[in-house]
Amino acid sequence: MSGTKPHILIAGGGIGGMCAAAALLQRGFEVDIFEQADELREIGAGIQISPNGNRALDSVGAYETLRQLSCKAERKEVRLWNSGKTWKLFDLGPVAIERYGYPYLTVYRPDLLKSVTDAVMRLDPKALHLNSKCASFVEKDGKVHLTLENGKTVTGDALIGCDGVNSMVRRCTANDSPPQFPGMMIWRGVIPLKALPERMQISMAVNYIGPNGHVVHYPLRDGEIMNLAATREKPEWDAPGGWMAEGAKKQCHEDYEGWHEDVHILIDAAPKLIKWAYLVRKPLQRYAYGRAALLGDSCHPTLPFLAQGAVIALEDGVVLARCFEKYSDVEEALTAYERARLERGNRMVAGSNDMVPRFHNPAYRDPVKADEYIDREWSGEAIAARYEWLFTYNCDTAPI
C-alpha cells in the first residue's frame, strides 16, 4: 500500500461486496469488509450469470474458478404452463461467446460467492471481518466512522453499502421507505439430477410461463443438480415469522395445480423446498452521499425476471474500483460511480418489472391467445430489445 490511497470500508460480504473488494484490492486500495455472519455462506440455490456478469468476474480474477464449477447451458426456452408447448428463446454457450465474448452460465450461488471471496483472500486474507454487523455510521473531519453492533468503531475514508435490500447504509443516507412485499413469492429447491426422469436431465434453462406464476429450472454444478425456482403471485406473505421459511410440498403442488406434469415431478424430486418473499424498493435518484455510496441490492433491489440482480452488482463493483482509481478525491470518485451506474441500475429494475406480465399473463389460459402473445412478446426481436443492451455492456471500458 502506498499510504496515499483511500481506505475503503465495505458493509456486507455478499457477492457485490466481495467483487468490489477484489476490484479495489487489485488496484492497491486498503479495504476492510464487515460481514455480520459468522461465516460466508449463500443459500443453496441457482443463479444465472450472463456474459456481462462473467466479464466482471474475469476482471477480478474469479471467472475461471467459477466456470469450472458451473454448467454451460445450451439454450433458453419458454414453455406454456399447462401444455408444455415450447418456444426457443436464444442460444447460450458457444453462440454467446462468439457474440459477447463470454458464455451464459448457470451457477450454484455458494460457488459464485466462493469464487469472488477466494479472489479477495488471494489479495488480502485479512480484509474480511466476520461477526461484524454494521450498526451505524457518521461522517466527521473528512472521515467515515463506522460503528459495529458490538460497539467497536472503525474509521476509513469511504463506506460502501453492500448490505442488501434492508441496507443500514441506505437507511442512514437515502432515508426512504422500507422494502415492500410486491405480491409475489418464490419456491426454491435444488434437486439431484439423477432423481429426475432421463428426459428431464437436459442442459438448458427452461421457463414455464403461466397466468399468475412461472417456473424456472436449469442444471448446476456441471449437470450434477437441477435448480428449481417457482414464482407465484400471492396477495399476502403467509410466513409472518420472516421473509424465508421451509415450505411444504403439498402447498407447492397446490400453488401449481393444473400445471404441466414436469412441474410436479420437479416439486416431488426436491429434497427440501424453501419459500421466499420477494422484496422491492422504490428506485433511487442517488447512489452516492458524500463519502458513502450504495452498491448492489442496497441501491437497486430487483425482481429476478431479467436474471440480472447479482450480475449488475458485479458490474457495480468493478466500475466503483475504476472510479476510485481515476479520481483521487473520494467524493468525486463516488459521484462518478453514481453517474456511471444510476441510469443502468434503474433501467434494469424497470425492465425486470416490465417482464412480470410477460411471465404471468391471463392470455396464457387460452391456447390461441397464448400463441399470439408469445409470438409477439417472446420473438427474437423482442428478446434482443430486452437483453442486448445488458449483455453487451463492458464494465472495464464503460465511460466513468
Give the whole-angstrom CA distance, residue 210 versus residue 224: 28
CATH number, domain with residue 336: 3.50.50.60
> What is the value of pTM for the model shown?
0.95
| Residue 291 belongs to a domain | yes
Q: What is the pLDDT of residue 94?
A: 76
pLDDT on residue 295: 98
Asked, for residue 162, whether it belongs to a domain, the answer is yes
Separation CA 111–CA 18 (nearest Å)? 13
Nearest residue to 198 (alpha-carbon basis) of 260, 94, 273, 269 = 269
Assess if residue 325 is contained within a domain. yes
**pLDDT, averaged in runs of 10, over the chain (400 residues):** 80 98 98 95 86 97 93 84 90 79 92 96 98 97 97 98 97 94 96 95 92 96 92 90 90 98 98 95 96 98 95 98 97 98 97 96 97 92 90 97
At residue 1, the pLDDT reads 36
For the chain, the domain total comes to: 1
Domain that holds residue 298: 7-71+105-179+281-356
pLDDT for the residue numbered 238: 83
Q: Is residue 157 part of a domain?
A: yes
The number of CA neighbours under 13 Å toward the Cβ of 113 is 16
Half-sphere exposure of 250 (CA within 13 A, CB side): 0
Q: How far apart, in whole angstroms, are the C-alpha atoms of residue 400 and residue 383? A: 28
| Contact assessment for residue 257 and residue 78, using Cβ atoms and an 8 Å cutoff | no
Q: Return the pLDDT at 92.
A: 67
In a domain, 236, yes or no: no
Is 308 part of any domain? yes
Answer whether residue 319 is part of any domain: yes
Q: Does residue 27 fall inside a structural domain?
A: yes
Number of Cβ within a 10 Å radius of residue 86:
11
pLDDT value, residue 2: 43
